[in-house]
Chain A
Amino acid sequence: MNIVVWIESKAGEIKSPAIEALGVARKLADSTSGEVTGVVCDGAGTAIPDQIMTAGAHHIVTRTRDDWDTCGNDTIAREIMGVCESRNAQMVVCAATSAGKEVLSLVAGGMGIPVAADCVDVSVNDGTVEFERPIYAGKAHLRQKVHSDRVALSIRPNYGEKLTVDAAACQEEAGAAEKGWNRTAFEQGSTGQVELTEAEIIVSGGRGLKEPENFKLLEELAEVLGAAVGASRAVVDLGWRPHSDQVGQTGKTVSPKLYVAVGISGAIQHLAGMSSSRTIVAINKDAAAPIFGVATYGIVGDLFEVVPKLQSDLKAVLQ
């Protein structure tokens, strides 16, 4: 089975979840005697880091154009479709970031093939592709078989496998796909943080923080951990944090290596959005808070005492 993988990059930097998507693709390709072709959509001469070179691709194609800065995801999708066609791809894979899901749905729509988002497991048995993905923000897991000889799948970040294989052969091809959108501006936010859905560590706060200004405590903790900052629906609805920070069924579903919930009681829709995190730490003064039901480690106590100590102790240990 020939597999094409979109290696997501932004301003010349390749995003780390792509490594896992390549790993998943390589294992599937090996089990079906196919090849993996990675696609980078970026300018000519973009450096491919060693980590990506050896992450699973047999070939890496960089679709170059001078105007990538002003292209939307629709153009990326069309460039990938071009590679899929020339490589006779039976499967298209990428990391299930917000851009990844949009690009892949457009690729699938353009190619007329089905697409499944956020897969946590993919296998091929007797030529039939089967995948598992969380639904209802993780309250349930869905396993499905694909009735199509071609399919597109996005892999949930932190669920793939990092491989190290022989380095890929690289080549550049000039991109020529049409543009539906013109990207006229990009304004970097003040936080400049990684997307929640891609973060390896998330520090999240809720109403227990009492005042929006107190999120500063979490930002300091996040800085020490190299983490992104998330928020509960309650504080987003209060206008303390932007909606893009919201974790939960009506916000982002996240699955980091480490999720630190501070002053979050754990409403069912919040738990749904984060309970697939590998390790969960809960800090809350209410020992009966539902968040402790999913926490790997809990500290019962006043967050205004616990968090500063955690921050300074971690700083001493990690730096």
Chain B
Amino acid sequence: MKIAVCIKRVPDTATRLNFAADGTSIDQSEVQWIISPYDEFAIEEGLRLKEKAGEGTVTVITCGPASATKELRQALGMGADDAVHIQTEDDLDPVQIARCLSQILESRGDDLILFGRQSVDAQGSQVGALVASQLGRPFANSIASLEVDGATVRIERDVDGGRETLEGSLPVVLGADKSLNEPRYPKLKDIMKAKKKPIETVEAQPGERAFETSAITPPPPRPEGRIVGEGPEAVEELIRLLREESKVI
């Protein structure tokens, strides 16, 4: 089975954001980059499928700056066979990223293309769907389980307080949710091995931007809150405030 996993590097979720002076970007000088957490579930799932099938390849693909090689090496350390790095120093919009990925994926003929359900920075949960549409393949996001039996794909996912099962046929494009698996930590030996694995570098052809950023700002400040009181004695006043001041109940 030929599997492609598309990953994105994002600022560590524990970092505080510094807003750049231009008002339209994030100051990246002190950012710690990580593989977007949902993408790790996608990598792990690709590896497990390959291991279960006993054959096949897992290729990780990213679209990002030269320094994103670090995240590709990390995925290779987890066990991916090779990588494609679509390089650009520009901050591309999701439509451009999808276009760049589709250009590479179109000619590869993967049986399965995996994404994380969303990146934890832009949170658009759309690049996977856009790529699937461009390639003319079915897409399903936020999958909680995956079974491949010959050409049949069976997935489950949590929707509307229940669990839905979908069946389709390869090739498909899927977005991984957290409950899919537990990603492995690369062992030192595998990290060393990953240094010798091939990374193909291609220049991004992103085309026109669909969106032009006019501002990136901190969220509107929350109105000042207050401590209503201590212990169960404060409950009465809390209920009064919720009903009369906030009017939310």
**Least CB separation from B231: chain A residue:** A301
Size category of the A interface is 35 or more
A292 to chain B, nearest CB (A): 7
Instruction: Name the residue among A145, A180, A257 with the largest chain B CB count within 10 angstroms.
Output: A180
CB-defined contacts of A33 to chain B, threshold 8 Å? none
Flag whether B196 is at the interface (Cβ < 8 A).
no
Report A84-121 residues with CB < 8 Å from chain B CB. Answer: 98-99, 101-102, 105-106, 108-110, 114-118
**Least CB separation from B137: chain A residue:** A180
Chain B 136-177: CB-based contact to A (< 8 A → 1; otherwise 0): 011111100000000000100011111111111000000001
A184 to chain B, nearest CB (A): 5
Task: Tell me the interface secondary structure of chain A in the complex.
Answer: mixed
Task: Report the Cα distance A253→B13, complex, angstroms.
Answer: 13
Task: Report the Cα distance A146→B122, complex, angstroms.
Answer: 16
**Least CB separation from A144: chain B residue:** B211
Task: Tell me the interface secondary structure of chain B in the complex.
Answer: mixed
Flag whether B235 is at the interface (Cβ < 8 A).
yes
CB-defined contacts of B93 to chain A, threshold 8 Å? 114
Q: Are A142 and B129 in contact (CB under 8 A)?
A: no
Task: Report the Cα distance A187→B163, complex, angstroms.
Answer: 5
Q: Are A268 and B123 in contact (CB under 8 A)?
A: no
Q: Are B160 and A135 in contact (CB under 8 A)?
A: no
**Least CB separation from A227: chain B residue:** B249
Pick the contact of B123: A110, A118, A182 (CB < 8 A).
A118
CB-defined contacts of B17 to chain A, threshold 8 Å? 136, 139-140
Q: Are B232 and A141 in contact (CB under 8 A)?
A: no
Q: Are A138 and B165 in contact (CB under 8 A)?
A: no
Q: Are B249 and A105 in contact (CB under 8 A)?
A: no
Task: Report the Cα distance A130→B126, complex, angstroms.
Answer: 19
Question: Known interface pairs A105-B129, A106-B133. Does A114 touch B225 (Cβ–Cβ under 8 Å)?
Answer: no
Task: Report the Cα distance A249→B116, complex, angstroms.
Answer: 14
Flag whether B54 is at the interface (Cβ < 8 A).
no
**Least CB separation from B220: chain A residue:** A141
CB-defined contacts of A102 to chain B, threshold 8 Å? 125, 129, 139-142
Flag whether A169 is at the interface (Cβ < 8 A).
no
Question: Known interface pairs A187-B163, A244-B179, A296-B246. Does A250 touch B232 (Cβ–Cβ under 8 Å)?
Answer: no
Flag whether A299 is at the interface (Cβ < 8 A).
yes
Instruction: Name the residue among A253, A280, A300 with the largest chain B CB count within 10 angstroms.
Output: A300
Flag whether B52 is at the interface (Cβ < 8 A).
no
Flag whether B14 is at the interface (Cβ < 8 A).
yes
CB-defined contacts of A279 to chain B, threshold 8 Å? 242, 246, 248
Question: Known interface pairs A145-B212, A309-B235, A314-B239. Does A249 touch B161 (Cβ–Cβ under 8 Å)?
Answer: no
CB-defined contacts of B236 to chain A, threshold 8 Å? 313
Task: Report the Cα distance A140→B125, complex, angstroms.
Answer: 17
**Least CB separation from B179: chain A residue:** A243
Flag whether B213 is at the interface (Cβ < 8 A).
yes
Q: Are B210 and A305 in contact (CB under 8 A)?
A: no
Q: Are B226 and A299 in contact (CB under 8 A)?
A: no
Task: Report the Cα distance A182→B141, complex, angstroms.
Answer: 15
Chain A 294-319: CB-based contact to B (< 8 A → 1; otherwise 0): 11111111100110011001100110
Flag whether B217 is at the interface (Cβ < 8 A).
yes
**Least CB separation from B178: chain A residue:** A243
Pull 12 A–B residue pairs with CB atoms less than 8 Å apart, ordered by A. A105-B125, A118-B124, A135-B216, A139-B16, A189-B162, A201-B248, A243-B178, A276-B219, A294-B222, A296-B225, A299-B228, A300-B229
The 6 closest A-B pairs by CB, nearest first: A109-B133, A180-B138, A105-B129, A114-B210, A301-B231, A185-B165
Interface residues of chain A, those whose CB is within 8 Å of chain B, are 10, 72-74, 98-99, 101-102, 105-106, 108-110, 114-118, 130, 134-148, 180-189, 191-195, 201, 225, 242-244, 246, 249-251, 253, 257-258, 268-269, 272, 275-276, 278-281, 287, 292-302, 305-306, 309-310, 313-314, 317-318
Q: A146-B210, A185-B163, A192-B161 are in contact. List 12 more A-B contacts (CB 8 A).
A: A135-B216, A137-B13, A140-B217, A180-B138, A251-B178, A268-B13, A268-B14, A278-B246, A296-B226, A298-B228, A301-B231, A301-B234
